[in-house]
A and B are shown apart, each in its own frame.
Chain A
């Protein structure tokens, strides 16, 4: 109970600070919207050359952009942690009786909330461009986005608090995320890939996330693909939050 109160207090604090500067939503969403508007038409006509129907093309493309938003929107939240650490905010809070777990979760939940809002906006923007998708499917996909961003944001905070330097955090994240992104099939479906690349991609988690979200957009909700996606997202989330909690509980962090 006390933990929940702490989480809520920390969440409210961060949310208030974010809402005071609404620029985040513009900045956060401008890149995915650019991907939709400036790259989407190119992508969908390329897909249609290969025989994919236009509405299918958008159902393939939008989930990919959602995952991309999720990866880059959540993975870089650690920069804010470093700024707070530098400003002494984390230390000040650690001298109060507040739960260390709440310091992580309150903050990460704010990031998740903002990201889900951006994801919804993204889907709405895609509608006039030609996206047609199943409503329950989109809801499942948003659930996956929520889990994924919870995990990635926790991981980012944990990493930030461990390295404590922007100069290390940025390159580390980029090095880790870029191959994962390329191998996930976000930009083009992996079904176009040569066999070896397809195999390698099956060894990375985001491949399953993207595949399942595409299936969900097409109306599958209870298929094995979607179910395994949810399971992968859940595992990423649980493991990352645990790792984050461990890092925050460490006394020197």
Chain B
């Protein structure tokens, strides 16, 4: 049984007399122990879906089971089994670090003594040792983010939802957080469901990627497969010999999607997969006595995948988390800063 299983999850917001469908029938499955990236352009329904899966928002229709508990009939049970780390965390700057962790542990009904041990354990696990008595407001961005994650892990949940875990972090802290995320899965078998704006992050961290657009899942696969299917590697060469003859030769090769002569007299070859295709290209050219003077390869990126799927680029846009839907009931209220 999948650890996250959503069927036709739908959420409609009323805006005055109009009703706007933010999520229109999302179906998704996540297996235990997976790290899954949930991607989508602004207003695609990403945050709304996440808020439904974490019991913060009731679906208009559709069902979901998370860690074996039904979202609609047993939301409290779902809450016991999941951890959720919102984009802006949720710590009070005037509280002490260990106070926040201890409260969180007690809210999950961990008895006092084990709760204290758990606080110490988590501080160590997330490299926050010695910071327990510090005010939350005095932590650095990276430390605060790790505290947010520690709070989500207090009860050792089966699934953790991370909303934009590395937004606004410097590269060092980002890498550090990736390490922590991987270790979660390796050491604790925790399933990680994360949204991100950084395609390199999704590429580096996730086993599988779900892309949502206009309230529907439009693609789901491993990063490698997505790139293979939806984007291409582009090889640009300068040849010694007749560019037109080379172009004709290469266009006929299996694995070559397109070959063209560039305005500067070079050859541009679009390959489904450069790892296999590049040798064929070189072999074919040398077999025909054509030398290669210069060669440049641009690998497919998730950016290309994204562009071909949604017609939009996924950029770290500070406006992104603001829902484009004017909410009458404050339903999609992501804290704005």
Q: Spell out A's residues near B (CB within 8 Å).
A: 2, 6, 9, 13, 16-17, 20-21, 84-98, 162, 164, 251-253
Contact = CB atoms under 8 A, between A and B. Distances in A.
Contacts of B87: 88
B330 A164 contact: yes
Contact of B335 (A88, A93, A252): A88
A208 to B, nearest CB: 35
Q: Which of B83, B92, B336 has most A Cβ within 10 Å?
A: B92
Interface string B56-87: 11100000000000000000100110111011
A42 B89 CA distance: 52
A92 B84 contact: yes
B106 A252 contact: no
B49 interface: no
Contacts, number: 82
- Main SS of chain B's interface residues? loop
Contact of A93 (B57, B58, B90, B95): B90
B333 A164 contact: yes
A85 B95 contact: no
A93 B56 contact: no
Interface string B90-103: 11111100010001
28 contacts: A9-B103, A13-B99, A13-B103, A16-B95, A16-B99, A17-B92, A17-B94, A20-B94, A87-B89, A87-B93, A87-B335, A88-B86, A88-B87, A88-B88, A88-B89, A88-B90, A89-B91, A90-B90, A91-B90, A92-B90, A94-B55, A95-B55, A95-B83, A95-B84, A96-B107, A97-B79, A251-B58, A252-B333
A209 B94 CA distance: 36
A203 B212 CA distance: 57
Given A95-B56, A97-B107, A164-B333, 9 more contacts: A9-B107, A17-B92, A87-B89, A89-B90, A90-B90, A92-B89, A95-B83, A97-B79, A97-B108
Interface residues of B, number: 36
Contacts of A92: 84, 86, 89-91, 151
B159 to A, nearest CB: 12
A92 B151 CA distance: 9
B190 interface: no
B144 to A, nearest CB: 11
Contact of B92 (A6, A87, A94, A252): A87
A3 B159 CA distance: 26
Given A92-B86, A95-B84, A252-B331, A84 B108 contact: no
B99 A95 contact: no
